[in-house]
Structure 1
């Protein structure tokens, strides 16, 4: 089993245990979609970040923490702020370095996400809304989701992820485009343009 398969399985085990206010969500019974969405993300990561994040998940499992549950909880700072205020103190606090690093990464990735939307508008429309200001009680934006997920990483993983983002920038690569290209291929398309063209046929 590859390191990416390890990570997806560890996340799926955590996702399966996420306790939703309205009961179990249908997506918690859909491993196929979960596997494609998460694998697409990790296929675009470098080995150092993958290894560090797998260690986070393994450590969390040993300690009885659910990083996927914590990710969704952190997103509620934007999507359900009143509820979030009631349990925010229970989440592991983020130090100043973590907060600043997360916001720097979010700013960079928002630029990539918006560039992707300009180049592949139909594919973009199939994905999450982009900015936190577009959040609703039932809709979580790319920005809010990313900020929530980064908030669950250990300092070691966050540092590795930040280095990876810097390398993408230095090489003028777009992490969103590469992630979405993996998604398109896992769904059977030759690449992003093929998927965009297919959507255009049905427009």
Structure 2
């Protein structure tokens, strides 16, 4: 199975879980399957194949146990369930990944303000009832991953970080191309002129 097929399987399983989430705050993107697929596929393109296989295993295991990882993520965001991981090393790893990715998001906001204008606020201080911060959203999502998947993803993130690459830029570059733009720069120019 190639990377694109793994991504398709992951996204299909996530979408099935996502559309059945019953959260306190309705999520309009639950009615936009195509948008969900574009964004999540772009995110997973930035992951290594090993990370994707591990996450697909997480999704399959959750399905077999009758668990919905998306429901768990939103339950964590709404503070309805306690922390999923108790291992201090895992909690530290999640914190490091959130800090690095928040830095990458800040770079994206500075370079591409028009593209990023509708994104989540970075910090908790910016939270509103309708918009959870990037850090909180990401942290709650990462908590739903197994320790194996987190270890793989941590390696992917550290590889990008150590080589000066911005994984968020990779994700958004893929996403805007999937939406028909030539590049992030082209998307920024076109969106800023609207």
Structure 1: tracts of 5 or more residues without a match: 77-83
Moved over 4 A (4+): none
Instruction: Tell me how far apart the structure 1 counterparts of residues 74 and 46 of structure 2 sit (CA, whole Å).
Output: 22
Report the RMSD for the aligned CA atoms in angstroms.
1.6
Q: How many residues align?
A: 191
**Where does residue 35 of structure 2 map in the other structure?**
33
- TM-score normalised to structure 1 length: 0.89
Structure 2: tracts of 5 or more residues without a match: none
Map 1:18-97 to 2 at 5 A.
Answer: 18-21=21-24, 25-76=27-78, 84=79, 87-89=80-82, 92-97=84-89
Displacement of 1:123 in angstroms is 1.2
Map 1:1-203 to 2 at 5 A.
Answer: 2-21=5-24, 25-76=27-78, 84=79, 87-89=80-82, 92-202=84-194
Instruction: Tell me how far apart the structure 2 counterparts of residues 32 and 147 of structure 1 sit (CA, whole Å).
Output: 25
Change (3 A) 1:124 1:30: closer
Instruction: Tell me how far apart the structure 2 counterparts of residues 130 and 183 of structure 1 sit (CA, whole Å).
Output: 20
Moved more, 6-15 or 129-138: 129-138
Instruction: Determine if contact 2:106/2:122 at 8 Å carries over to the other structure.
Output: yes
- TM-score normalised to structure 2 length: 0.92
Instruction: Determine if contact 1:110/1:143 at 8 Å carries over to the other structure.
Output: yes
Displacement of 1:117 in angstroms is 1.1
Instruction: Tell me how far apart the structure 1 counterparts of residues 27 and 108 of structure 2 sit (CA, whole Å).
Output: 29
